Amino acid sequence: MSDEAITDGPGTERTAPGRGVPDAAVTNAAATDAPAGPEAGDEPDSRPLDELLDDIYHGQERISQATIYRRAVAAELPAALLTRIAALPEGEYAVDEVADQLGGTVT
């Protein structure tokens, strides 16, 4: 006895109930079709960056990119944020300049 395939639409196939493999849909959908992480349109959490900037700019007008990076590493900020900080050109930044560049909300 051979299994009969039933097609529900493009990219899907299942075996007829009671014949061979239990009834289970198989799709060709890409893994990116499934929701992963925050929903689309959600803003990334800028709190860790804002807290870092509040701390390091307390009483300071301008701070070097190297100092910002060192403090971000010490604060264990996410790797994606560390990469963006490392990509800043060398030089000194006011808090509003660095917040604009990195997506923070501190001004």
DSSP E strands, 1-107: 5-9, 12-15, 62-64, 92-94
Query: In which residue are the tokens 């639409």 written?
Result: 9
In a domain, 38, yes or no: no
16 has a pLDDT exceeding 70: no
In a domain, 8, yes or no: yes
Shared domain check, 60 and 95: yes
Distance, in Å, from the CA atom of 69 to the CA atom of 9, rounded to the nearest integer, reads 52
34 has a pLDDT exceeding 50: no
Q: Can you give the pLDDT at residue 12? A: 54
Average pLDDT value for residue range 82-107:
92
In a domain, 75, yes or no: yes
Shared domain check, 25 and 51: no
Domain hosting residue 82, numbered range = 47-102
In a domain, 7, yes or no: yes
Structural domain total, the chain:
2
